[in-house]
């Protein structure tokens, strides 16, 4: 186990928080290591006071060679990645290989892997053949699947949050426990995007917490984050996002202009004007071409937003209605031109989710007064809300397998890359289909919720570890320089597992 220099240890507790196997504790404000320690070096790297150093390998430990960390593991304990365990002097992968899994039903000879890589382990160094290379017959065709749990230094997650709430400026840093783990990305239609991880953050000063955060997201755990100068977030794949302590429920039906396009006919005879607040585009019903289609002309009402094109106004981001800066609905009405408007006109102000709504009446002097919402107006607003999808968090794991991991698959790395891009090889992650980005490399994206449960881990190089499967026809495998002598049947693998 590691040695602690009690003279230089200040008892800050950083090493205790970062140790992946719980081998450190603080006793009388000094760090103390236990037998669990595998000499993974994390504490040595995070200690700012150089108070920790390595020892000789302890007797009874086994050195794991499945990644460059080379953990020294005592009987009954696991390595830093928690994948390998010393069981009475034998090093074993402590998760059974997931052979049968509930995958997506898709057609095609190579559409699905014969087995998954979850529980397969890693062959290291990479020049060794992958842990399992299996063959089987699909639709009368011999197929091969090569599986490995690949440590990926180039990896991260894109977190998609279906919400109108303002979470922070694009490019703002995102922190977990005070450490930078990502940034706010550009918005997508109706969703805020976060970029967590990536090679530069993984290799930075806080790479361990970055790796842990990527893996927690990918495995469907709840993660608490803070956006610098922005919101606090509690996020979990498949669940509602909790933003500043409030769970959001509805995703917008579209921008303000789109909402009018969708529901223009429903507004007729119910209100004379509608302002649909949205942080992207605020819509004005009477001015909209969809409004013209249903017999409207501009009402004289001017919304409180920056005009873009006819009936479309750019909203300001904020913590108010529709994710704009408008906190009170009356502020949505900038002015009323009484040379066009008439006293008694009814103006609806609502959001693109239909969650909040207010009704106003134009007064003879051009001001507006609040009105109680009538039943027809409530029905109109409910119709918008009822057409909104549930707000949720989605996680897309991204990685690059175009490097040394290819050596375990084939002797011709470029041939493998080309075969993946040509569709000769089907790349899956824990049984889930991937999208392989065009251009060089084997950079992929996968919906983390479709991957075999809890299949991601991390090693303190640091890198995340993903279950990678390559499936192709056996004849194609031979053509790209596959390790043919290592092929086993699924039944042989099943017997061994
Ligand atoms: S070397 Fe690794 S396992 Fe050992 S105490 Fe430090 S962080 Fe924990
Ligand atoms: S972190 Fe690396 S060396 Fe340690 S147990 Fe895991 S694979 Fe083995």
Q: What is the pTM of this model?
A: 0.93
Spatial separation of the C-alpha atoms in residues 449 and 413, rounded to whole Å: 30
- Among 388, 385, 392, 462, which Cα is nearest to 213's? 462
pLDDT band for position 124 (50/70/90)? confident
Residues 113 and 235 in one domain: yes
Q: What percent of the chain has pLDDT over 70?
A: 99
Judge if 207 and 236 occupy the same domain.
yes
Helices (H), 288-351: 289-293
- CA dist 230 and 296 (Å) reads 40
Backbone Cα Rg of the chain: 29
Task: Kindly report, residue by residue over 275-293, the tens digit of the pLDDT.
Answer: 999 999 999 999 999 999 9
CA of 63 to the centre of ligand 2 (A): 9
Q: How far is the CA of 64 from the centre of ligand 1 (A)?
A: 15
Q: What separation in angstroms does the CA of 272 have from each of 284, 359, 439? A: 11, 11, 53
Contact 464, 215 (CB under 8 A): yes
Cα-to-centroid distance, 158 and ligand 2 (Å): 26
Rounded to whole angstroms, how far apart are CA atoms 466 and 122?
Answer: 10
Helix, strand and coil in the chain, % to nearest 5 = 20, 35, 45
Q: Which residue has the higher pLDDT, 124 or 266?
A: 266
Q: What is the greatest pairwise CA distance in the chain?
A: 92
Torsion of CA 470, 475, 480, 483, to 10 degrees: 70
Q: Distance between CA atoms of 50 and 14, rounded to whole angstroms?
A: 12
**Is residue 474 predicted with pLDDT exceeding 80?**
yes
Same domain, 128 and 233: yes
Do residue 364 and residue 397 come from a single domain? no
Q: Specify whether the CB–CB gap between 385 and 355 falls below 8 A.
A: yes
pLDDT of 105 strictly over 70: no
Residue nearest atom 5 of ligand 2, based on CA coordinates: 79
Which residue has a Cα nearest atom 8 of ligand 1?
A: 19
Residue nearest to atom 1 of ligand 1 (CA): 39
Query: Are both 29 and 83 inside the same structural domain?
Result: yes
Last residue of a domain, one of 93, 124, 146: 93
Confidence band, pLDDT 50/70/90 cuts, at residue 354: very high
Residue 366 has pLDDT above 70, yes or no: yes
Residue-level pLDDT at 104: 64
Which of 331, 360, 386 lies at the terminal end of a domain, its last residue? 386
Residues 294 and 366 in one domain: yes
Instruction: Answer yes or no: is pLDDT of 387 > 70.
Output: yes
Number of domains in the chain: 3
Distance (Å) from CA 451 to ligand 1 centroid? 30
Q: Which residue has the tokens 């006919």?
A: 265
Range of the domain at 416: 98-251+392-497
Return the SS3 of 237.
coil
Residues 175 and 74 both lie in one domain = no
Q: How high is the mean pLDDT of the chain?
A: 95
Residue 52: CATH number of its domain: 3.30.70.20
- Are residues 83 and 103 both part of a single domain? no
Q: Which residue puts its alpha carbon closest to atom 2 of ligand 2?
A: 67
Do 216 and 242 belong to one domain?
A: yes
For residues 16 and 151, state if they share a domain.
no
The number of the ligand nearest the C-alpha atom of 150 reads: 2
Residues 142 and 287 in one domain: no
Residues 447, 358, single domain; the answer is no
**Ramachandran angles phi, psi of 128, nearest 5°:** -75, 150
- The dihedrals phi and psi of 481, each to the nearest 5 degrees, come to 85, 35
Question: How far apart are the C-alpha atoms of 490 and 473, rounded to whole Å?
Answer: 15
Contacts of 98 (CB under 8 A, 6+ apart): 115, 116, 118, 119, 430, 431, 452, 455
**198-236 confidence digits (pLDDT tens):** 999 999 989 999 999 999 999 999 999 999 999 999 999
Q: 42, 64, 93 — which closes off a domain? A: 93
Residue given tokens 């495995």 in the structure block: 219
Strand runs labelled E in 42-140: 52-53, 62-63, 72-73, 84-87, 90-93, 132-138
CA 87–ligand 2 middle distance (angstroms): 15
Burial class (CB in 10 A: 0-12, 13-18, 19+), 48: exposed
């Amino acid at each position: 186990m590691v040695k602690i220099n009690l003279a230089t240890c200040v008892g800050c507790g950083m090493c205790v928080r970062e140790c992946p196997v719980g081998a450190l504790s603080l006793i009388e404000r000094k760090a103390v290591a236990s037998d669990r320690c595998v000499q993974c070096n994390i504490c040595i790297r995070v200690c700012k006071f150089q108070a920790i150093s390595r020892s000789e390998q302890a007797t009874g430990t086994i050195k794991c060679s499945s990644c460059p960390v080379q953990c020294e593991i005592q009987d009954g304990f696991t390595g830093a990645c928690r994948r390998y365990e010393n069981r009475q002097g034998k090093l074993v992968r402590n998760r059974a290989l997931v052979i049968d899994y509930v995958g997506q039903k898709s057609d095609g000879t190579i559409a699905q892997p014969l087995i998954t890589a979850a529980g397969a382990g890693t062959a290291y160094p990479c020049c060794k053949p992958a842990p399992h290379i299996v063959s089987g017959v699909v639709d009368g065709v011999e197929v091969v699947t090569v599986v490995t749990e690949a440590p990926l230094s180039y990896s991260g997650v894109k977190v998609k949050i279906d919400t109108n709430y303002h979470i922070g400026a694009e490019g703002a840093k995102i922190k977990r426990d005070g450490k930078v783990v990502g940034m706010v990305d550009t918005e997508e239609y109706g969703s805020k995007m976060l970029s967590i991880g990536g090679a530069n953050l993984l290799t930075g000063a806080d790479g361990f917490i970055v790796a842990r955060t990527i893996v927690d997201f990918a495995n469907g755990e709840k993660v608490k984050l803070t956006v610098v100068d922005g919101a606090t977030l509690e996020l979990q794949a498949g669940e509602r996002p909790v933003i500043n302590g409030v769970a959001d429920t509805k995703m917008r039906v579209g921008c303000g202009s789109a909402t009018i396009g969708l529901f223009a006919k429903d507004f007729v005879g119910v209100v004379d004007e509608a302002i649909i607040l949205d942080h992207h585009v605020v819509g004005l019903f009477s001015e909209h071409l969809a409004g013209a289609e249903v017999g409207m002309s501009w009402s004289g009402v001017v919304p409180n937003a920056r005009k873009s094109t006819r009936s479309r106004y750019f909203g300001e981001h904020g913590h108010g209605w529709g994710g704009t800066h408008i906190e009170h609905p009356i502020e949505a009405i900038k002015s009323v031109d009484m040379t066009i408007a008439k006293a008694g006109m009814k103006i609806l102000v609502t959001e693109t989710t239909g969650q909040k709504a207010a009704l106003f009446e134009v007064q003879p002097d051009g001001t507006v007064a609040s009105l109680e919402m009538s039943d027809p107006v409530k029905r109109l607003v409910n119709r918008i809300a009822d057409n909104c999808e549930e707000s949720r968090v989605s996680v897309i794991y991204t990685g690059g397998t175009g490097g040394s991991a290819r050596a375990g698959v084939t002797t011709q790395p470029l041939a493998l890359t080309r075969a993946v891009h040509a569709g000769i090889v089907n790349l899956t992650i824990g049984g889930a289909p991937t999208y392989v980005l065009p251009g060089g490399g084997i950079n992929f994206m996968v919906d983390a919720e479709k991957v075999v449960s809890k299949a991601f881990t991390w090693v303190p190089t640091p890198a995340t570890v993903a279950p990678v499967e390559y499936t192709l026809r056996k004849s194609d495998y031979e053509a790209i320089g596959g390790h043919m002598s290592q092929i086993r049947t699924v039944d042989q693998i099943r017997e061994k597992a």
